[in-house]
A and B are shown apart, each in its own frame.
Chain A
């Protein structure tokens, strides 16, 4: 009889002729998927947690070292982070071949990088004379001219000139707000993870490490994990200051927010913090500011975070989500949250339009990673719950300075 393996009868009953495992294998994902397919979660796809912790014999506890930049990268695009780190799945297109033709138009990434360099040259940490600054700026422009990354024509010189003027105006605004970064201070904040997450991390650690030494035996009795979040704080006169020559994106807000959380924690630790130099440097600092220059509208926008309520709880919430996001893809992209936060009404209909927006250059549903994990637009109510849980404070506490 043809198509035997496709007939369910052949797996069941007294005359079964195929191994039931095949049937289970065929049925399992579909039944799972049917429950969760619209929830914005794909818990049928889970991978084991990597070993994120190590035993610290001096503190008698497990420690998870987590650079803040890593956490920021994760929340920019959680499912992309998961795919790349955990599944080794990379959809980014990098052509290995060199192009035969020189550029005739301005590559947006190259343009952005040059504008950043120009701002950096204008806002040098050391106090340089006007001539020296001008020299530094000219050096950037000469290097860009000779790099071959920009069109070889008069349009290039004109565009460079306009970017130079933009950078002057942007740096002037930053100076006016006393936001030049005087120095960057290394800092680390230690947070204690909850029991459940700690157990999860310890279990992952133990499965990957055999008990061989005394320290390992000793560590068997430890059931707490501390997270050490480390970053560099960009300290200006009275604030933490960030600036980018671009309109602000979600990653900017999350950067500002996380840094403000760290700042609040460090300030609350006060004298108990052993890093006296840092404590004194942060004495006058209360808020985190971000300055963004929109090239099109030629305007600077400024955002600020001041006091964050319960910064420890907030950061732990994001860290727990990060640990979940290393086991499965999460649809908690901040840009969706931002869109929902800005919109008057944002429900399923609006979400679907945003998911597959014909007017957008790249709508979220067409993102390679999102499309891989969620080929169809999920139900918004499930996505919404997670987004609100994570980002409500981040957006509510954001303050735009006009």
Chain B
């Protein structure tokens, strides 16, 4: 699929569009323009155009920008339809009187506009379509449901304590109280996935492989060991060394044999051996501290040394693995209990809103009445900050818009700014969307920064000279398309004295903007929202001449 530059007045008002917009390229500017076209050309109302973004602040900002743009269009319609390419294009399709009526109507009902956060949207849908979505009319919203989780965990502890003392002892050795348990496993309880774990057998097998490796190392290097450790001594000392080396090999062989038996019946024998005295005379190198072959000997004994460390914690590791097996069952049971309790009490957390709607919409993919209903209600959707959408949120959009040929869905984002991983944001959902859309657009002119700033971060994100091949800076198939400065960018120069307000100390001050770009790169690597900093520096602290 080809990628073209987005032009707001020519972009089709139908189909699935993915718009990739770097910081400062006029994303919100274009959203408001597409919005206005939908109002006028598709004759939609503000209630019918669904705009979704990530934070409440962003919804307010978008509403304000749309409001301002509609007002401008209304007030300056006659001039704009002569001078502005965008408005000329609209005027060819819409009559001026009609247009003005629709704009006035849009302004009048702007408070009712469907501009939501994803959570706000889900809550609205679940309660508005309570019958179709199968939810209660009076859902009680909780920012988190920690109390319910703790209650369910306490129930699980109670049951475990009564049903199996041994299991309870195992679990309470590591997580003595429900509170400690919840602190450790809250995330696992909150999700719905299968849990993988390293079980008792894996722990023993990995121990076994280190034992065998150690034994092999000693056997393969037997000649060297005899030469460097035994033959360098004479008389009684030599005999002692032969004996010590023999003890170590025997001990390892015995351990290996014990591990070779059926472990369920032989675990005690293994643990007795592991907890007992290990013949470790040669392991730490003190016996041959001045030997020229010390390094070689240490290498031979390295796996043996590992065994010593593993032996100390073997019983605990096995117990932990056993406990984790119980914990996994516990987490599944707690999840179920939490979900039952929430249903009975009409409770939903913010995350439940999304998962419940996603569940409802994926019940019958082909003919889902709720999806149909939502499509009728919102025939068009614009999703801002799409890079931070998680798979469940994307499922919702797919269910509503991917089955409808007349739908228009605009997904606007920048994979380079995916920063909400900590709350489920998933850049892979973005990449999936990219492969499934009808149109892909980019915005490659930066309207915000000065020319040398743009040059600086182009170099940084491109990872190479702009004339050479790009380096894979972002990985995961996320390319960087260098942005161009706007025609006015040359006028935007940094005033150095204002940098004293910044917390960034940058030296030397020559090549300042390139240095700044580097600094931003560092911040970005730390996961800090790049856009915010670019905005902060360009708008707040660095004035333009």
* Nearest CB of B to A37, in Å: 36
* Nearest CB of B to A99, in Å: 12
Scoring B residues 134 to 173 as 1 if CB is less than 8 Å from chain A, else 0, what string do you get?
A: 0000000000000000000010011001000100110010
The answer to whether the Cβ of A152 comes within 8 Å of any Cβ in the partner chain is yes
B178 & A155 in contact (Cβ 8 Å cutoff): no
- CB contacts (< 8 Å) of A104 on chain B: these are 154, 157, 176-179
Most buried by B among A104, A152, A153: A104
- CB contacts (< 8 Å) of A101 on chain B: these are 154
- CB contacts (< 8 Å) of A151 on chain B: these are 161
Q: Which residue of A lies closest to B151 (CB)?
A: A101
- CB contacts (< 8 Å) of B158 on chain A: these are 152
B165 & A154 in contact (Cβ 8 Å cutoff): yes
* Complex Cα gap A331–B158 (Å): 47
Known: A101-B154, A104-B154, A104-B157. A153 touches B177 (CB 8 A): no
- CB contacts (< 8 Å) of A154 on chain B: these are 161, 165, 168-169
Known: A104-B177, A104-B178, A105-B176. A153 touches B154 (CB 8 A): no
Partner of A105, one of B165, B168, B169, B177: B177
* Nearest CB of B to A106, in Å: 9
* Complex Cα gap A248–B165 (Å): 35
Scoring B residues 93 to 115 as 1 if CB is less than 8 Å from chain A, else 0, what string do you get?
A: 00000000000000000000000
- CB contacts (< 8 Å) of B177 on chain A: these are 104-105
- CB contacts (< 8 Å) of B172 on chain A: these are 153, 155
Q: Which residue of A lies closest to B181 (CB)?
A: A104
* Complex Cα gap A152–B158 (Å): 8
* Complex Cα gap A152–B168 (Å): 11
* Complex Cα gap A104–B172 (Å): 10
- CB contacts (< 8 Å) of B154 on chain A: these are 101, 104
- CB contacts (< 8 Å) of A152 on chain B: these are 158, 161
A153 & B161 in contact (Cβ 8 Å cutoff): yes
A155 & B169 in contact (Cβ 8 Å cutoff): yes
Q: Which residue of B lies closest to A152 (CB)?
A: B161
Scoring B residues 238 to 256 as 1 if CB is less than 8 Å from chain A, else 0, what string do you get?
A: 0000000000000000000
Query: Which residues of chain A (148-178) have a CB below 8 Å from chain B?
Result: 151-155, 158
* Complex Cα gap A105–B175 (Å): 11
* Complex Cα gap A343–B503 (Å): 43
Q: How many residues of A contact B (CB 8 A)?
A: 9
* Complex Cα gap A105–B157 (Å): 12
B168 & A155 in contact (Cβ 8 Å cutoff): yes
- CB contacts (< 8 Å) of A158 on chain B: these are 169
Q: How many residues of B contact A (CB 8 A)?
A: 12
* Complex Cα gap A155–B176 (Å): 9
* Complex Cα gap A155–B165 (Å): 9
* Complex Cα gap A168–B165 (Å): 26
Scoring B residues 176 to 190 as 1 if CB is less than 8 Å from chain A, else 0, what string do you get?
A: 111100000000000
Q: Which residue of B lies closest to A157 (CB)?
A: B165
* Complex Cα gap A155–B166 (Å): 10
B176 & A153 in contact (Cβ 8 Å cutoff): no
- CB contacts (< 8 Å) of B161 on chain A: these are 151-154
* Complex Cα gap A77–B443 (Å): 71
* Complex Cα gap A158–B178 (Å): 19
Query: Which residues of chain A (112-171) have a CB below 8 Å from chain B?
Result: 151-155, 158
* Complex Cα gap A153–B171 (Å): 12
* Nearest CB of B to A64, in Å: 49
* Nearest CB of A to B51, in Å: 45
* Nearest CB of A to B147, in Å: 11
* Nearest CB of A to B163, in Å: 11
* Nearest CB of A to B155, in Å: 10
- CB contacts (< 8 Å) of A155 on chain B: these are 168-169, 172, 176
Q: Which residue of B lies closest to A155 (CB)?
A: B172
* Complex Cα gap A155–B161 (Å): 9
- CB contacts (< 8 Å) of B157 on chain A: these are 104, 153
* Nearest CB of B to A46, in Å: 45
* Nearest CB of B to A159, in Å: 11
Query: Which residues of chain B (501-526) have a CB below 8 Å from chain A?
Result: none
Q: Which residue of A lies closest to B165 (CB)?
A: A154
Scoring A residues 89 to 115 as 1 if CB is less than 8 Å from chain B, else 0, what string do you get?
A: 000000000000100110000000000
* Nearest CB of B to A285, in Å: 45
Q: Which residue of A lies closest to B178 (CB)?
A: A104
* Complex Cα gap A152–B177 (Å): 12
* Nearest CB of A to B81, in Å: 56
* Complex Cα gap A101–B150 (Å): 11
* Complex Cα gap A155–B173 (Å): 9
* Complex Cα gap A155–B177 (Å): 11
Q: Which residue of A lies closest to B154 (CB)?
A: A101
* Complex Cα gap A105–B172 (Å): 10
Q: Which residue of A lies closest to B166 (CB)?
A: A154
* Nearest CB of A to B353, in Å: 28
Q: Which residue of B lies closest to A156 (CB)?
A: B161
- CB contacts (< 8 Å) of A105 on chain B: these are 176-177
- CB contacts (< 8 Å) of B178 on chain A: these are 104
Q: Which residue of B lies closest to A100 (CB)?
A: B151
- CB contacts (< 8 Å) of B165 on chain A: these are 153-154
* Nearest CB of A to B160, in Å: 8
* Complex Cα gap A154–B167 (Å): 10
* Complex Cα gap A154–B176 (Å): 12
Most buried by B among A105, A153, A158: A153
* Nearest CB of B to A162, in Å: 14
* Nearest CB of B to A276, in Å: 57
- CB contacts (< 8 Å) of B179 on chain A: these are 104
Scoring B residues 329 to 353 as 1 if CB is less than 8 Å from chain A, else 0, what string do you get?
A: 0000000000000000000000000
* Complex Cα gap A158–B172 (Å): 12
* Complex Cα gap A79–B397 (Å): 65
* Complex Cα gap A158–B170 (Å): 13
* Complex Cα gap A42–B143 (Å): 46
* Complex Cα gap A152–B159 (Å): 11
* Complex Cα gap A105–B154 (Å): 12
* Nearest CB of B to A196, in Å: 56
- CB contacts (< 8 Å) of B168 on chain A: these are 153-155
- CB contacts (< 8 Å) of B176 on chain A: these are 104-105, 155
Q: Which residue of A lies closest to B176 (CB)?
A: A105
* Complex Cα gap A151–B157 (Å): 11
Q: Which residue of A lies closest to B157 (CB)?
A: A104
* Nearest CB of A to B129, in Å: 37
* Complex Cα gap A101–B158 (Å): 11
* Complex Cα gap A158–B168 (Å): 12
* Complex Cα gap A154–B173 (Å): 12
* Nearest CB of A to B349, in Å: 21
* Nearest CB of B to A67, in Å: 40
* Complex Cα gap A248–B177 (Å): 29
Q: Which residue of A lies closest to B179 (CB)?
A: A104
* Complex Cα gap A363–B176 (Å): 26
* Complex Cα gap A144–B498 (Å): 71
* Complex Cα gap A83–B172 (Å): 42
* Nearest CB of A to B176, in Å: 6
* Nearest CB of A to B161, in Å: 4
* Complex Cα gap A371–B297 (Å): 61
* Complex Cα gap A151–B158 (Å): 10
Q: Which residue of B lies closest to A158 (CB)?
A: B169
Which residues in A have some Cβ–Cβ distance to B below 8 Å?
101, 104-105, 151-155, 158
- Offer 23 A-B interface pairs, CB within 8 angstroms, sorted by A: A101-B154, A104-B154, A104-B157, A104-B176, A104-B177, A104-B179, A105-B177, A151-B161, A152-B158, A152-B161, A153-B157, A153-B161, A153-B165, A153-B168, A153-B172, A154-B161, A154-B165, A154-B168, A154-B169, A155-B168, A155-B169, A155-B172, A158-B169
List 4 A-B pairs, minimum CB-CB distance, nearest first. Answer: A153-B161, A154-B165, A104-B177, A105-B177
Which residues in B have some Cβ–Cβ distance to A below 8 Å?
154, 157-158, 161, 165, 168-169, 172, 176-179
Given A104-B176, A153-B172, 20 more A-B residue pairs with CB atoms under 8 Å apart are: A101-B154, A104-B154, A104-B157, A104-B177, A104-B178, A105-B176, A105-B177, A151-B161, A152-B161, A153-B157, A153-B165, A153-B168, A154-B161, A154-B165, A154-B168, A154-B169, A155-B168, A155-B172, A155-B176, A158-B169
